[in-house]
Amino acid sequence: MLNPPDPVEMIGGLLLSAAVALVGYRREALSGSGVAGAILSGSLIFGLGGWEWGLLLIAFFISSSILSHYRAEEKRALAEKFAKGHRRDLVQALANAGVGMGLAVGHPFWPHPLLYVACAGAMAAVNADTWATEVGVLSRRPPRLISTGRPVEVGTSGGVTGLGLVVSVAGAAFIGLMGGGATLLRGEASIVAAAVLGGAVAGGLGGSLFDSLLGATVQAIYWCDPCGKETERRVHRCGAVTRQVRGLRWLGNDAVNFIASVVGAAVAAVIGSILLGGTVLVPFSY
């Protein structure tokens, strides 16, 4: 290994992610299995990547938890996604943080700044999507389907609004600014910080647009007969079993979120390598 993990960072990462996960559980942001997912992803990302990697995960987790409380009553009335007691479980935690985890595991073997840029892109994609969902639903204009432009009901998968797009960019830039700031604090060159910021903004926007595109086209979407509503769930919040109306049966919401974070990481890596002047294959210590 070029850059073996530091035992102090490993233990620190475990303790810090356990503390954050327990707060998340008490604040109803995580289920029991979600706590396990947060501790697993948090300790790997912190322990193998370092504090500047962990910062990206914390920035996503805390900002999206805070936004979920923003005008919560109005959102509950508008869309079923915001039904009370929506806790993230293990699969959802891995769908959001899995790409960051994988990159963190690679970091000791290939400590290149592009890996961090890609992690920022992945976290920016899930952050942009979460921010846009939490705030975009409050848009006064009806969403339009990203694939055809047809106006759709609030909460429809694949529906986008101007407000939602602006908020996506803000959510991506928030991760980029955190990552870029951490890069500067580590004493890296400002071009590396610029690659983190640029990669996160482009990756975050690209990933969340791709998420909407999948939601409008191939994601499994269900219909609840008693409520007359479209949903991403197999069992509706009312308790009724839903029936699938479109999309691929195996491509659920968690898979779509994971794919969006892969796209975010890939777009960020491309933008990052361009900004770093094509230093992709020359590993140096980071």
List helix spans (H) across 45-161: 51-68, 72-78, 90-106, 113-136
Q: Which residue has the tokens 């233990």?
A: 11
| Nearest distance, CB of residue 75 and Zn ion, angstroms | 18
Assigned token pair, 6: 């530091």
- Residue whose CB is less far from Zn ion, 88 or 236: 236
Helix, strand or coil for residue 270?
helix
Among 78, 194, 227, 280, binds Zn ion (CB under 5 A): 227
Query: CA of 132: how far to CAs of 49, 107, 167, 250, in Å?
Result: 28, 30, 5, 25
Give the CA dihedral 99, 181, 162, 264, nearest 10 degrees.
Answer: -20
* Residues between 228 and 247 with contacts to Zn ion, criterion CB under 5 A: 236, 238, 240
Contact 99/258 with Cβ under 8 angstroms? Answer: yes
Assigned token pair, 174: 């928030």
- Residue whose CB is less far from Zn ion, 69 or 234: 234
Q: Which residue has the tokens 């409520």?
A: 227
Helix, strand or coil for residue 224?
strand
* H/E run at residue 243: strand 243-246
- Residue whose CB is less far from Zn ion, 1 or 77: 77
- Residue whose CB is less far from Zn ion, 82 or 210: 82
| Nearest distance, CB of residue 235 and Zn ion, angstroms | 9
For CA atoms 216, 217, 219, 223, give the dihedral sign: positive
- In this chain, which stretch among 63-71, 157-165, 213-221, 227-235 interacts with Zn ion, using CB under 5 A? 227-235
| Nearest distance, CB of residue 224 and Zn ion, angstroms | 3
Among 99, 224, 256, 259, binds Zn ion (CB under 5 A): 224
- In this chain, which stretch among 2-10, 115-123, 153-161, 218-226 interacts with Zn ion, using CB under 5 A? 218-226
Number of residues located near Zn ion, criterion CB under 5 A:
6
- In this chain, which stretch among 41-49, 87-95, 154-162, 217-225 interacts with Zn ion, using CB under 5 A? 217-225
* Residues between 35 and 94 with contacts to Zn ion, criterion CB under 5 A: none
- In this chain, which stretch among 1-9, 119-127, 146-154, 222-230 interacts with Zn ion, using CB under 5 A? 222-230
How many Å apart are CA 108 and CA 78, to the nearest integer?
Answer: 46
Binding mask 169-208 for Zn ion (x = CB under 5 A): ----------------------------------------
- Residue whose CB is less far from Zn ion, 185 or 245: 245
Give the CA dihedral 212, 28, 139, 73, nearest 10 degrees.
Answer: 150
Site residues for Zn ion per CB under 5 A: 224, 226-227, 236, 238, 240
